[in-house]
Amino acid sequence: TADKDWWRGAVIYQIYPRSFQDTNGDGIGDLKGITARLPHVAALGADAIWISPFFTSPMRDFGYDVSNYTDVDPIFGTLKDFDALIAEAHRLGLRVMIDLVLSHTSDQHRWFVESRSSRSNAKADWYVWADSRPDGTPPNNWLSIFGGSAWAWDPTRLQYYLHNFLTSQPDLNLHNPQVQEALLAVERFWLERGVDGFRLDTINFYFHDRELRDNPALAPERRNASTAPAVNPYNYQEHIYDKNRPENLDFLKRFRAVMEEFPAIAAVGEVGDSQRGLEIAGEYTSGGDKVQMCYAFEFLAPDPLTPERVAEVLRDFQKVAPEGWACWAFANHDVVRHVSRWGSDVADHAGHAKLLASLLMSLRGSVCIYQGEELALPEAELAYEDLQDPYGIQFWPDFKGRDGCRTPMVWESLPDGGFSSTKPWLPIPEAHLPQAVAIQEGDPASVLEHYRRFLHFRKAYPAFAKGDIEFVETRAPLLGFIRTHGNERLFCLFNMGDEPAAAESPSDEIEPLDGHGFISDLRDNKISLPAWGAFFARLA
Ligand code: TEU
Ligand code: CA
């Protein structure tokens, strides 16, 4: 495990602990459940797991509101359970990345309890406090992603505090050096406990403008599909002052310096910004002294996934950050499951899912796979009464929230999905049961076996993980590119459409590869692909 570069091109499997596996019959997944199911992740061929937050929390945002950074919430288990999880992961050859939410805490965190108690306590400046404007309104026009002003009134301090997310998620003031020290101590705590890295939640929200200047409105011509849901006015501001501040670079360097005290640690920063995401991701991952990877939102947005869009995003990133490293994902716990987002009208559900999986795992960058993605689970349709996500409850029915991608894993085709012995915290859709792990396992035509096969294939050719990428002239719905690493040149061609398609071979000297599960035909320099087909070859 000394390979310092393991993260470059790694495939990271994201686990949402509430919904992975329940072991004590309370309907909520737990750390013991993760440990029990790690063989599934290892068999898939992933390099690492990223576990969404399991720290002590009142769970207003299901763990993204932390009230104690250095303990496990009793719902999920104990620190001892976590130690056992790490040991088992390492035994199976999996690295463990944990999700640190450093931009804000829960309002139940003792730091905030103290900070809000007066204007003169020792932690008075640990959060972002400001006086109202003379008319009593909030200090400026900053908005919360979850709706309304980003400022909440505190009746004790008679001041507003900043919250980019829920009012129960007050923003820490990282301009205060003591806050930085406290967060670096959290980092060290988990490194000493044996984690291999971090997913850093909302990494570009760490610092705000100290002068509290108003954000400008987003010019109408710059509004696009990825600024949806249009119902949320947050998407119509230019986020210059509430986040993305230059002071962040120095903090990230300090964070990295602590990582460097331990062997082979890697971090992926989540850059939430639908306007300048790639640029910021590039900035944070260049120079070798901040984070290694940034998690980009480009393919998590509602925009349709077309060959042009894929090429444009990858080229743009290359252009703004030739030295940077992205981590791509099609799915996570915040967005509509991608097979539904992009394929609601697709007849061949499995074919579509397999093509997308292989495309994702062939791009230059690292990759995150979200639990259930390997089963091609569609978005769950939930009734308003079943909703748990405060974001969904707030914007229903224009935006249905994030519960539809957070329903429990389906391990077996039983009514409880093999997830729990009792009623789960979110219902398991009946339609998910025929896609359970136990049903797909061993069926070479299944999506699950395709993920396993493709990950295995991908490992045999280092160009997939580490190579450069160069796009080849192709006509939609085809997408073609060449991945180059040393003397290895791999040509990858994808048919992103539901009709057969054909393309010219980019070279006479081409050696088709197999073992990836797709069937195609190469004759007289012409490559013919079936609907949702792909072709891989080595070029001389
Ligand atoms: O998400 C940050 C973020 O910007 C996204 O939340 C996104 O805008 C939103 O979920 C709408 O889809 C991270 C976590 O992934 C998310 O679960 C948390 O709610 C959020 O931070 C606050 O900690
Ligand atoms: Ca449980």
* Minimal-distance CA residue to ligand 1 atom 1: 202
Q: Ligand 1: distance of its center to the CA of 510 in Å?
A: 44
* pTM of the complete model: 0.98
Ligand 1 probe mutation, 18, 109, 145, most atoms within 8 A of CB: 145
345 is catalytic: no
Closest ligand, as measured to the CA of 19: 2
* Minimal-distance CA residue to ligand 1 atom 20: 64
Ligand 1 probe mutation, 334, 379, 403, 405, most atoms within 8 A of CB: 334
User: Tens-digit pLDDT profile for the chain (540 aa)?
Assistant: 469 999 999 999 999 999 999 999 999 999 999 999 999 999 999 999 999 999 999 999 999 999 999 999 999 999 999 999 999 999 999 999 999 999 999 999 999 999 999 999 999 999 999 999 999 999 999 999 998 999 999 999 999 999 999 999 999 999 999 999 999 999 999 999 999 999 999 999 999 999 999 999 998 888 865 555 556 889 899 999 999 999 999 999 999 999 999 999 999 999 999 889 999 999 999 999 999 999 989 999 888 999 999 999 999 999 999 999 999 999 999 999 999 999 989 999 999 999 999 999 999 999 999 999 999 999 999 999 999 999 899 888 888 899 999 999 999 999 999 999 999 999 999 999 999 999 999 999 999 999 999 999 999 999 999 999 999 999 999 999 999 999 999 999 999 999 999 999 999 999 999 999 999 999 999 999 999 999 999 999
Catalytic position from the list 83, 260, 261, 514? 261
SS (H, E, C) 374-391: HHCCCCCCCCHHHCCCHH
Atom number of ligand 1 nearest to Cα 145: 8
Ligand 1 probe mutation, 97, 172, 202, 388, most atoms within 8 A of CB: 202
Place of tokens 């390492």: 90
Instruction: Tell me: ipTM over 0.85.
Output: yes
Instruction: Give first-to-last CA distance, the chain, whole Å.
Output: 33
Question: What residues line ligand 1, using a CB cutoff of 6 Å?
Answer: 61, 64, 101, 145, 165, 201-202, 272, 333-335
Catalytic position from the list 22, 201, 273, 379? 201
* Minimal-distance CA residue to ligand 1 atom 11: 334
* Minimal-distance CA residue to ligand 1 atom 12: 334
Q: Ligand 2: distance of its center to the CA of 59 in Å?
A: 14
DSSP state of 489: E
Q: Which of 380, 376, 520, 341 is nearest to 451 (CA)?
A: 376
- Is residue 236 within 8 A of residue 218, CB to CB? The reply is yes
Q: Which of 311, 288, 285 is nearest to 296 (CA)?
A: 285
3-class DSSP state for residue 159? strand
Q: Ligand 2: distance of its center to the CA of 418 in Å?
A: 13
Q: Ligand 2: distance of its center to the CA of 377 in Å?
A: 22
Please give the domain boundaries of the chain with CATH numbers for all domains: 11-103+177-208+243-457 (3.20.20.80), 467-539 (2.60.40.1180)
Contacts of 522 (CB under 8 A, 6+ apart): 505, 510, 512, 528, 535, 537
Query: What is the radius of gyration, based on Cα positions, of the chain?
Result: 23
201 is catalytic: yes
Q: Ligand 1: distance of its center to the CA of 538 in Å?
A: 40
Compute the distance between CA of residue 518 and CA of residue 355 in angstroms, rounded to an integer.
9
Q: Which two tokens stand for residue 305?
A: 């996934």
* Minimal-distance CA residue to ligand 1 atom 23: 64
Atom number of ligand 1 nearest to Cα 272: 4
